Amino acid sequence: MRRLIRVLIFVAIAWSAYWFIAGYGLRAALTGWFDQQQEQGWQADFSGVSTGGYPTHHITRLTNPALADPVNGTAWSADWIEFQSPAVWPGSQLLRFAETPQRLSYFDQTATIQADALQAELQLQPGVALVLEKMAVTSGAWSVAENGDAQAGGDNLFMVMAQTDFPEAYTISARVEGFTPGDDLRNLMRSATTLPQAFDTLELDMAVTFDKPWDRSALEQRRPQPVAIDLQLAEMKWGELSLFAAGELDVDEQGIPTGEIAVKAENWRDMIAMANAAGALPDQAVDPVTRALNFLAGLGGNPNALDLQLNFRDGFVALGPLPLGPAPRLILR
């Protein structure tokens, strides 16, 4: 019995020593990363740091963290952020965010984000590079406001990015239930005033291959850039409006996509009216586009539904036979 007690005491002392050493290492790594960003010209600071979770976890909380990248003009701040990991493996991180408003800025635009139980799960491979295996972001009710005006909100949020058997390829899924556009967006699309308050469906499922895996260099150096996109499903249903899309794109070094995306739209005339009200479709283009799409819809047998293809070629995009203009550059900043 005495021997067993001695063994247990030894194990407890050894584990405690490991826990405190590992906790100190995690704490030093987090605070050291902020110091490195300051050396690169960022604003990166916090007002306090604490460690807890003994004996099964390491929980490190940063109080009043603030990050700002002067090159991209982006900034983020919050009341606190918490990093939690099992004591046996710090590469499995759970990030918890304050339920008080967070502030996200892009140049002179500042938005406040309020979310219930917002957290991010990170699964990292062992090693110095900290390659991302999986990232999941979940939240309860959330909202985004700008200058006190609601811009968007939802009942919940679910996003997952998971590495495949190919290190550079990731599956990406997203779903928002009860997505509610703010008054500014509804006013911008004047035809949206008769639509329900919230979307019925807002979902995305795709696989993206990047030019390198996502690892710590994505924050410290440059973001991985997409080279191939397999859009398996993008679905939006808002009252009588519905939109489905699927297809594949290749992306060159300049971010120019090439490929086809199949699109199916129901009640497409309302979508044209909304695009015109939002300024995305000029007044002089409304009648020609409506006539052309009306002809194409008639070929499919249902005048209220369109079954077309977005064609990306030579830096331009066309909807079926209708040229839409230059294709967007798919570059992650």
Each residue's pLDDT tens digit, 152-185: 899 999 999 999 999 999 999 999 999 988 877 7
pTM (2 d.p.) = 0.79
pLDDT tens-digit map of 269-296: 877 777 777 676 777 777 887 887 787 7
| Average pLDDT value for residue range 16-34 | 88
Both tokens assigned to 286: 């409304």
| CB-based contacts of 157, cutoff 8 Å, min separation 6 | 115, 118, 137, 138, 139, 142, 176
Given the structure tokens 């047998």, which residue do they identify?
301
Per-residue pLDDT for 132 more than 80?
yes
* Mean model confidence pLDDT for the chain: 86
Residue 282: Cβ within 10 Å count: 10
